[in-house]
Amino acid sequence: MTTPRVTRESGLEARIAHIVEPIAVDLGYELVRVKVSGLNGMTVQIMAERPDGTMSVDDCERLSRDISPAMDVADPINREYHLEISSPGIDRPLTRAKDFETWAGYEAKIEAEQAIDGRKRFRGVLLGVRDGTAGIRLIDGADDDVWLPVEAIAEAKLVLSDALIKSPTRTSAAQENGSDTQ
């Protein structure tokens, strides 16, 4: 069973997500994010993972084989592009409420859709989720805990740190399943 994403794409990225998410779910993966960039002319990056947070190279290949034909048929992009399937990586985007819970205790950057208490950007240590809000303990000298409605979050991602690199959360599922979490 897939966990709903709270941060969503818009425009072309949303059209692509609409095409690829059902395919990913049918194959047992959760869509994390779709990103279109100008790399190599145009690159469509699709981040996905298994419900346990793992994603191997074989998983990426399997998803690519099933997504490519669907993208060709739907033809959402009117020019050549490169399709890239990847795991969320170590400094992953946080797109589902469960991500804020799983990664509680680690540093993250969060940007709100609109200003909340006079600010849109927050950096601090994740506190988890409660009552539809994601908590973050600010590290910018304010020493405050802020609880943001998850639906008000435009973008969030983990901050690369030594603690994150050494994280048992990042490695335990991969070790149990023999997969690579990169």
Residue 82 reports pLDDT greater than 90: yes
Domain that holds residue 80: 11-86
- Whether residues 152 and 130 fall in one domain: yes
User: Does 179 fall in a domain?
Assistant: no
- Whether residues 101 and 79 fall in one domain: no
Q: What is the mean pLDDT of residues 141-154?
A: 86
User: Does 1 fall in a domain?
Assistant: no
Q: Which helix (H) or strand (E) holds 44?
A: strand 43-49
User: Does 177 fall in a domain?
Assistant: no
Residue 54 reports pLDDT greater than 70: yes
- Whether residues 73 and 120 fall in one domain: no
- Whether the CB-CB separation of 155 and 111 falls below 8 Å is answered with yes
User: Does 176 fall in a domain?
Assistant: no
Q: What are phi and psi of 171, to 5 degrees?
A: -100, -25
Tally of domains in the chain: 2
Given 61, 86, 111, which residue is the final one in a domain?
86
Three-class SS of 59-96: HHHHHHHHHHHHHHHHCCCCCCCEEEEECCCCCCECCE
Q: What are phi and psi of 103, to 5 degrees?
A: -100, 15
What pLDDT, on the 0 to 100 scale, is given for residue 9? 86
User: Does 73 fall in a domain?
Assistant: yes
- Whether residues 104 and 82 fall in one domain: no
Given 37, 52, 86, which residue is the final one in a domain?
86
Residue 143 is part of a domain; what is its CATH number? 2.30.30.180
- Whether the CB-CB separation of 83 and 71 falls below 8 Å is answered with yes
The percent of residues in the chain predicted with pLDDT above 70, rounded, is 90
User: Does 91 fall in a domain?
Assistant: no
Name the residue with tokens 């002319």.
Answer: 41
Chain mean pLDDT for the chain: 88
- Whether residues 103 and 150 fall in one domain: yes
Given 24, 56, 86, which residue is the final one in a domain?
86
pTM (two decimals): 0.82
Residue 19 is part of a domain; what is its CATH number? 3.30.300.70
Order the strands of the 82-86 sheet from edge to edge. 30-37, 43-49, 82-86
Residue 176 — very low, low, confident or very high, per pLDDT cuts 50/70/90? very low
- Whether residues 55 and 112 fall in one domain: no
Q: Residue 146 forms beta bridges with which residues? A: 136
User: Does 60 fall in a domain?
Assistant: yes
- Whether residues 146 and 81 fall in one domain: no
